[in-house]
Structure 1
Amino acid sequence: MDSGAIRRRLGAVLGVLTASGLLALAAPGVAQAADPSSCSGRKIRTFTFSTGSVRLYKDGNYLCAVTAPNSGGGKRPMMVSLQARGFEPVVDKGLFAQHAGPVRSYVGHRKVWIKGSVGRGSYDSGGWKRY
């Protein structure tokens, strides 16, 4: 095989790898707002804070998070954020009566940063953690 054929094959292989890498980076950062029951998988952690909690679920390579208040009541400001390292955060923020979220993101084996708040109380993982 001559050097020209080797270069053409190497170029084709590099093109396919580059395209697949770009697709893998583009798709996971998309937020998926859904019903509360759509946090599929198993609950792996609950992070409590003064006014509520953030529940974290894992399903394969995906994480899903929901923030819920400790007590019932009317609408109040709530927020949940899930960010896989290297990607934009997936956030649900607004005035809610029952929960903020769920937010779902592909994380693979990346570390994540999780935040949640209900009223004046909040939770922040304080850095990148693996779940």
Structure 2
Amino acid sequence: MRGPVVIATVLGASGLVALLGPGLHSADAAELCNGRKARTLHFRTGEVRVYRDKGYVCAVAVADRAGTPQAMSVTVQARGSAAVADKGTFKYHAGPVKVHAGHRCVWVRGKIGNKSVSSGWILC
């Protein structure tokens, strides 16, 4: 009798993952960076979430249409330092990208598909 119980449990769990899977990925994107959310930069195809934690700034670009592979990028640059980026074709998000900013301003850019956002110098 153990076989049918195991099969039912596995099928039930896989069904639950199938139902919750897409939602979990977009929720997980918000938790890829430590710290408190400092800004959210909205644009037509998604948003860039910017976090601060102990002198570090972290950013993630999250797609509105999660699950569809598309070109995405997120870039963070602390003033006076080189930009750090994550670029590629992703289903859910680009990043996280983390830089040490200390007390310096940062410039954050995000792109999903053919739409983008650029913050200018922020968090000064």
What is the TM-score of this pair, normalised by structure 1? 0.69
In the other structure, the counterpart of 1:75 is 69
- Computed over aligned residues only, the root mean square deviation of the Cα atoms, in angstroms, reads 1.5
Say whether residues 1:45 and 2:34 are aligned partners. Answer: no
In the other structure, the counterpart of 1:84 is 78
Query: Whole-Å Cα distance in 1 between the matches of residues 121 and 48 of structure 2?
Result: 16
In the other structure, the counterpart of 2:122 is 129
Query: Whole-Å Cα distance in 2 between the matches of residues 38 and 51 of structure 1?
Result: 20
Query: Whole-Å Cα distance in 2 between the matches of residues 56 and 38 of structure 1?
Result: 11
Query: Whole-Å Cα distance in 2 between the matches of residues 42 and 128 of structure 1?
Result: 19
After superposition, the C-alpha distances for 1:46-79 in whole angstroms (9 at most, x for unaligned) are 1100000000011110010000111223210000
After superposition, the C-alpha distances for 1:6-35 in whole angstroms (9 at most, x for unaligned) are xxxxxxxxxxxxxxxxxxxxxxxxxxxxx9
Following superposition, the deviation at residue 91 of structure 1 comes to 0.2
In the other structure, the counterpart of 1:15 is none
Which structure: larger Rg? 1
For structure 1, the residue ranges without an aligned partner over 5 or more in a row are 1-34
Say whether residues 1:54 and 2:84 are aligned partners. Answer: no
Following superposition, the deviation at residue 44 of structure 1 comes to 1.4
Name the structure where strand makes up a greater proportion of residues: 2
Query: Whole-Å Cα distance in 1 between the matches of residues 50 and 122 of structure 2?
Result: 13
1:115 counterpart (69, 88, 109): 109
- Structure 1 SS opposite 2:80: coil
**Identical aligned pairs, as a percentage?**
48
What is the TM-score of this pair, normalised by structure 2? 0.72
Following superposition, the deviation at residue 129 of structure 1 comes to 2.2
Query: Where does structure 1 differ by over 6 angstroms across 4 or more consecutive aligned residues?
Result: none
After superposition, the C-alpha distances for 1:77-126 in whole angstroms (9 at most, x for unaligned) are 0000000011000100000001000000100111111100100110011x
